[in-house]
Amino acid sequence: MSKRLTVIAHPNSKQSRVIQDEAGHWHFYLQQKAIGGQANQALIEAVADHFHLKKNQVQLISGHKSKQKVLSIE
């Protein structure tokens, strides 16, 4: 059974980091630019690393061209 996780991606950041704001939203700051899916791939890797998952357990469902993204986590 998979879970859905909504995150906010911040591509082209000076340093990679993860924070959770007061409202409980996850923000992933990524150094990669949002060109050719680089930031989306980096987001999948960052989510997998942060939650101690394998990369193939994380899949981008929606928000391919948006900062707000929905991920499926196995």
pTM for the model stands at 0.92
Q: In this predicted model, what pLDDT tens digit does every residue of 46-59 receive, in sequence order?
A: 999 999 999 999 99
Segment 7-21 mean pLDDT: 96
Output the domain CATH number for residue 48.
3.30.1200.10
Name the nearest CA neighbour of 61 among 53, 50, 52, 73. 73
Residue 50 CA, chain-centre distance (Å), reads 10
- Phi, psi (degrees; rounded to nearest 5) at 45: -65, -40
Q: 13 lies in which domain range?
A: 3-73
Cα atoms in the 13 Å half-sphere on the side-chain side of 3: 6
Q: In this predicted model, what pLDDT tens digit does every residue of 20-73 receive, in sequence order?
A: 999 999 999 999 999 999 999 999 999 999 999 999 999 999 999 999 999 999
| Number of domains comprising the chain | 1
- Using CA atoms, how far residue 48 sits from 3, 39, 57, 61, 72, in Å, is 13, 14, 8, 15, 11
